Amino acid sequence: MSLNCPQFEATKNALLVRAPAKINLSLLITGKRPDGFHGIETLMAKINWYDELLFEQGSTEGIELVCTGDYWAPDGEENLVYRACQMLMERAGRQVPIRVTLTKNIPAGTGLGSASSDAAAAVMGLNRFAGLNQPDTVLHEICAALGSDINFFLGPPLAYCTGRGEKIHPIDTEFEFSALLLVPGISVSTKSVYENYLHSPELYNRLSAKINPLLEKKKVDSIAEICANMLESGCFRLNRELETLKERCQALCGRKVCLSGSGSAMYVLGSDLNEKQPQLRQLLKRDFDCESRFINNNRW
């Protein structure tokens, strides 16, 4: 897939918006907060794999959401796309008949953030297509109300996110990378992973002592090489087959395999994997029924 795929493509009567997935280049847990949520410190990067949202004039009043593509998504108010559009029209004080076709190319429950990215694409797309003229501050408020990490997808391709994930600190440096993305046919519940997470202050202190100085120097490549994800143990405790997949893939490719978010997706950094990927992908599919694809960093 091209690195230069645009985010918006307008035709005479429609607007296509691409919603990129993300990977976590590092993910630390600071501990449980007074509000019951876990504090996180994570470096996130968008990748060039997209869901797509097509905005068209609706034939009836209100929001018509149609979901299609390789993976299922709800087509009612439980979908973040529907709720994002609804909230934006309420804030704008205008109800417009709109038809949104969501093409799900990225599976949910993989730690790739597709639902959050879809929601961000929804507010940006509807604002532009319907001429609602809402400022960025309103878009950010809506996204923050819908979920902790949605605001990340409103910004640049690389950011350090803290708090519950809602505090976005853009990283104004380019980090170009290639990776083999592993997408097992397993849906992981983020809620369940956090419920099974056992916090280690010692591990957090050790990892943050390594990562924070690198972050100050914007050495993103060095942070990515550490391959730190403190949710990994909780994910693997619930899904032992994912731990086996990681170990097998590391043995096959001779380098670290990193979990994205709370899983189930994993990735292996390295442009040279493009040459090795046919054989490696065949083995992953044969032995683990694991899909995989070669991806790059996204440029927006």
Range of the domain at 90: 8-170
Contact present, 166 and 144 (Cβ < 8 Å): yes
Query: What is the structure's pLDDT at 128?
Result: 98
Band of residue 279 on the pLDDT scale cut at 50, 70, 90: confident
Catalytic residue among 22, 46, 104, 246: 22
Give the model's confidence band at 278: pLDDT under 50 very low, under 70 low, under 90 confident, else very high: confident
pLDDT tens string 133-160: 999 999 999 999 999 999 999 999 999 9
Rounded to an integer, what distance in angstroms lies between the CA atom of residue 67 and that of residue 85? 15
Select which of 46, 51, 149, 246 is catalytic: 149
Please give the Cα distance from 33 to 163 (Å, whole number).
9
pLDDT range class, residue 273, cuts 50, 70, 90: confident
Considering the domain boundaries, does residue 2 fall inside one?
no
Please check whether residues 123 and 183 belong to one and the same domain: no
Residues 135 and 192 in one domain: no
Is residue 251 assigned to a domain? yes
For 274-298, b/e burial (b = at least 16 CB within 10 A) is eeebeebbeebeeebebebeebbbb
Total domains in the fold of the chain = 2
Q: What pLDDT does 30 receive?
A: 98
Percent of the chain residues past pLDDT 70, beyond the cut: 98
- pLDDT value at position 112? 98
Asked if 182 and 81 sit in the same domain, the reply is no
Do 201 and 120 sit in the same domain of this protein?
A: no
Q: Is 185 exposed, middle or buried (0-12, 13-18, 19+ CB in 10 A)?
A: exposed
Q: What is the percentage of the chain residues whose pLDDT exceeds 90?
A: 90
**Which CATH number is 141's domain given?**
3.30.230.10
Mean pLDDT of 268-285: 84
22 is catalytic: yes
DSSP 8-state secondary structure symbol assigned to residue 151: G
pLDDT digits (tens, 9 = 90+) for 62-79: 999 999 999 999 999 999
Torsion on CA atoms 211, 231, 23, 180, rounded to nearest 10: 100
Could you tell me which residue, 119 or 279, shows the higher pLDDT? Answer: 119
Structure confidence at residue 71 (pLDDT): 96
133's torsion region: left (phi>0), alpha (psi -120 to 50) or beta? left
How confident is the model at residue 60, as a pLDDT? 87
For residue 209, what pLDDT is reported? 98
| pLDDT at position 271 over 90 | no
Tell whether 3 is covered by a domain: no
Of 170, 187, 222, which one is at a domain's C-terminal end?
170
pLDDT of residue 3: 55
Assess whether 276 and 234 both reside in one domain: yes
C-alpha pair distances (Å), 132 with each of 106, 135, 154, 219, 247: 28, 9, 17, 39, 50
Measure the CA–CA gap between 94 and 182, rounded to whole angstroms: 43
Residues 290 and 215 in one domain: yes
Residues 210 and 154 in one domain: no
Asked if the model's pLDDT at residue 269 lies above 60, the reply is yes
pLDDT in tens, 202-225: 999 999 999 999 999 999 999 999
Q: Tell me: pLDDT of 101 over 60.
A: yes
Residue 4 has pLDDT above 70, yes or no: no
**223 falls within a domain:** yes
Structure confidence by residue, pLDDT tens digits, 25-38: 999 999 999 999 99
Residue 288 has pLDDT above 70, yes or no: yes
Give the residue-averaged pLDDT of 227-244. 97
Q: Which pLDDT score is estimated for 294? A: 93
